[in-house]
Structure 1
């Protein structure tokens, strides 16, 4: 069993989530640690699977130029693998989470226009195994702890 994360690990993770491209020297300065200590901690967090990778978060300019929506999906029994494969092939699908409740999955969608979203929802509804959908278009984001300017 891996040891629990200490306060310094949690602070380091928070800084990396805000800006994964931050230099280790800057991270070390902000944490009050030696640069080599920060390098070693990051390596350990990666090795232990705490940090699975690094990616790109879209900024407000890109975010405001798109139509975002949450789509709840109910699928027929035994069809989940087929439905998930079909969703994975749609570039507008950014995230799929299995959820409890009336629906089986919560899907985050990002499209350039409302018309593109409408066509995408038609495609999703036609996937073999999709029983029911319910979609909510995002009007504005009020809190986002994943972004710098949330």
Structure 2
């Protein structure tokens, strides 16, 4: 990666819908250069997809939670594979320390949330969990 790649990534993180023309104009480089750099980053797995950001209060009634998971022995890969199939899992992180995984969950209601927790806790290889519901978020 070079400095141009970093600049392109920065602009796309802010707005993934920017056109190649808009990127080229903003960075004052040719469209061909932007296209070539994006193709390079896509081919090398630096860019793996494009997405949108939703306004934080858009889903204000959604229940969000962090679940810490301790995995039995060396079963982390199997647990991660199972968690990736769970629709309520928004983000999944491996960690060090007391907990092996940190999972961000999202649910429409407490009833659904209870069912999500039940499904996750029944995954083979999970030793224990601890879940905290997010009450509010503050910008740093």
TM-score of Structure 1 vs Structure 2, range by shorter chain = 0.7 to 0.9
SS of equivalent to 2:35: helix
Choose which of 109, 112, 119 in structure 1 pairs with 2:105. Answer: 109
Cα displacement string for residues 108-146 of structure 1 (whole angstroms, at most 9, x for unaligned residues): 1111112211221122222222111111222233248xx
Choose which of 22, 34, 48 in structure 1 pairs with 2:18. Answer: 22
What is the CA distance between 1:25 and its match in structure 2?
1.2
Aligned position for 1:43: 39
Aligned position for 1:90: 86
Choose which of 110, 116, 130 in structure 2 pairs with 1:120. Answer: 116
Superposition CA RMSD, Å: 2.0
1:5 aligns with 2:15: no
Aligned position for 1:67: 63
Q: How far, CA to CA, are the matches of 1:104 and 1:62 in structure 2?
A: 31
Normalised by the length of structure 2, the TM-score is: 0.86
Aligned position for 1:147: none
SS of equivalent to 1:128: coil
What is the CA distance between 1:13 and its match in structure 2?
0.4
What is the CA distance between 1:71 and its match in structure 2?
0.4
**Matched positions, count:** 140
Q: How far, CA to CA, are the matches of 1:80 and 1:109 in structure 2?
A: 18
Show structure 2 runs of 5+ residues with no match. Answer: none
Q: How far, CA to CA, are the matches of 1:72 and 1:125 in structure 2?
A: 11
Show structure 1 runs of 5+ residues with no match. Answer: 145-150
Cα displacement string for residues 83-129 of structure 1 (whole angstroms, at most 9, x for unaligned residues): 22331221001222111010111111111112211221122222222
